[in-house]
Structure 1
Amino acid sequence: MTQYLNLPSCLTAVCRSADAGKFKSTFVDALVVAVTFDLFGTLVAIDRPGDPAATVATALRDRGVTVPDGWSERYTEQHVEAPAGAEIPLPAHVAAALRAGGVDASASTVRRAVVAAFDPDVRTRPGADDALSAAAARGPVGLLSNCSVPELVPRTLIRSALDRETFDAIVTSVGCGWRKPHSRAFETVAGEVGVGADALVHVGDDEASDGGVEAVGGTFLDVADIGLETIADRLRAGDQPASLAEASPCR
Structure 2
Amino acid sequence: MAVSFDCFGTLVTADRPGEPWAAVASALADRGVPVPDDWAAAYRQSHREYDPGREAPLDEHVRLALASRGVDVDRETAREATLAAFDGPVSRRPGAAAALAAARERGPVAVCSNCSVPGLVERTLARVGLDADAAVTSVDCGWRKPHERIFRATADALGASVAELCHVGDDPRTDGGAERAGGTAVVEADPDLARIADRLRDGEGSPC
Partner residue of 1:172? 137
1:188 aligned to 138, 153, 156, which one?
153
Query: How big is each residue's C-alpha offset from its partner over 1:214-241, in whole Å with a ceiling of 9 and x where there is no partner?
Result: 1112111123365111111111111366
Contact 1:203 1:210 in 2 (8 A): yes
Number of residue pairs aligned between Structure 1 and Structure 2 = 208
Over the matched positions of the two proteins, sequence identity in percent amounts to: 55
Give the match for residue 41 of structure 1: 9
Which of 47, 52, 57 matches 1:79? 47
Work out which of the two has the higher radius of gyration on C-alpha atoms and give 1 or 2. Answer: 1
Secondary structure of 1:170's counterpart equals: strand
Structure 2 length as normaliser, TM-score?
0.93
Q: CA RMSD in A?
A: 1.6
Distance 1:239 1:72 in 2: 52
Q: Does 220-229 or 135-144 show the bigger shift?
A: 220-229
Structure-2 residue corresponding to 1:29: none
- Structure 1 distance, partners of 2:205, 2:166, is 10
Distance 1:240 1:218, change over 3 A: farther
Q: Does 1:234 align with 2:199?
A: yes
Confirm or deny that 1:115 pairs with 2:83: yes
- 2:110 alignment partner, SS class: strand
Deviates more, 1:223-232 or 1:99-108: 223-232
Which region of structure 1 is more displaced relative to structure 2, 59-68 or 44-53? 59-68
Counterpart selection for 2:162 from 182, 197, 213: 197
TM-score norm. by structure 1 comes to 0.78
Which residue of the partner structure matches residue 99 of structure 1? 67
Equivalent residue in structure 2 for 1:151, among 101, 110, 119: 119
The answer for unaligned runs of 5 or more in structure 2 is: none
| Moved >3 Å (runs of 4+) | none
Instruction: Extract unaligned runs of 5+ from structure 1.
Output: 1-32, 246-251
What letter corresponds to residue 60 of structure 1 in structure 2? L
Residue 206 in 1 paired to residue 171 in 2? yes
**C-alpha displacement of 1:156:** 0.8
SS in structure 2 opposite 1:142? strand
The separation in 2 between residues aligned to 1:119 and 1:225, in whole angstroms, is 23
